[in-house]
Amino acid sequence: MTPVLPLDNGSMATVKYRMRKPFIAANWKMHKTIPEALAFLSAFLPLVKDVTDVTIVLAPPFTALARVSEEVRGSNVRIAAQDLFFEEKGAFTGEISPVMLADVGCSYVIVGHSERRQYFFETDDVVNKKTRAAQKFGLGAIFCIGESLAEREEGKTFEVIHREIERGLDGVAPRGLVVAYEPIWAIGTGRTASPQQAQDAHAFIREKLRGFYGNEAERLCILYGGSVTPENIDSLMEKPDVDGALVGGASLKPEQFASIVTFGRKK
Ligand code: PGA
């Protein structure tokens, strides 16, 4: 449903009817020391302090989580980790458990990002275990899927998404679940999927989620990720099944990310 509303200046604006609260998350990847993260926050928090109609999430590196979480306490910003291990505790040198993430104040965790799948060989099975572990310990999982350029060119986009959802969400409840569609060819390349390409993939994902969760699927946010900027966020967010964004490069600068979070408003 997209109502057309008159504006003060007499022109008309189409306003998308939203049944889901938009969700915009910053994935800082391997960027920012603690002082850099704090400098970001002192510029960013005042810029978004009045935003109540968007869920705002920051995913700093592990080393900055505790400090950032302390700093945003009481604000409208939530914290996510970028990864987790699926065991609660034990002899897993170098790994971090969902219990530890909850302990430092994380509300969410990104799972199955394409960089984890590509550089750290995470399979659908591992991604599934991580997603379940996140849920088990009360964290919302930002579950990432998306096809490579070769797969898109071979016409396999929907096949890949289908497989990643079938395997990755096996046994996963809808509680706290957020799905991020990130075509690998659009990540960090400056090459965004067109709003229609994003919508087509999101509509397909929504349909798969209906298969898993029935009507609950209408409440789940599906984010788009891949070269999102202040310039392209508005046209992406106009699409009916695009409920938010997972933002890498453009989330590192406070003004840029604030401008994405406040999409749709006059800049
Ligand atoms: P990008 O990264 O915005 O720099 O393309 C998005 C992501 O990998 O989550």
Domain ranges of the chain: 2-34+55-84+94-261
HSE-CB for 173 with a 13 A CA cutoff = 10
Q: Is the CB of 182 under 6 A from ligand 1?
A: yes
Q: What percent of the chain has pLDDT over 90?
A: 89
**CA 193 distance to own-chain centroid:** 16
pLDDT reported for residue 185: 92
Catalytically annotated residues? 113, 182
Question: Closest Cα to atom 3, ligand 1: which residue?
Answer: 248
pLDDT reported for residue 18: 83
pLDDT reported for residue 253: 98
pLDDT reported for residue 265: 84
From residue 98, alpha-carbon distances to 66, 78, 115, 229 in Å are 14, 16, 20, 31
Q: Is the CB of 225 under 6 A from ligand 1?
A: yes
pLDDT reported for residue 86: 98
β partners of residue 24 = 56, 245
β partners of residue 56 = 24, 77
Question: Closest Cα to atom 2, ligand 1: which residue?
Answer: 248
Centre of ligand 1 to C-alpha 136, Å, is: 27
Residues of the chain with pLDDT under 50: 1-2, 4-11, 13
Q: Which H/E stretch holds residue 246?
A: strand 244-247
From 228, 181, 216, select the one nearest 201 (Cα to Cα): 181
From residue 148, alpha-carbon distances to 145, 204, 226 in Å are 10, 17, 12
Q: Is the CB of 228 under 6 A from ligand 1?
A: yes
Q: Is the CB of 146 under 6 A from ligand 1?
A: no
CATH fold of 2-34+55-84+94-261 reads TIM Barrel (3.20.20)
Note the pLDDT tens digit of each residue in 79-113. 999 999 999 999 999 999 999 999 999 999 999 99
pLDDT reported for residue 191: 87
Q: Is the CB of 24 under 6 A from ligand 1?
A: no
Centre of ligand 1 to C-alpha 83, Å, is: 15
Q: Which H/E stretch holds residue 108?
A: strand 108-111
How far apart CA 62 and CA 155 sit, in angstroms, is 37
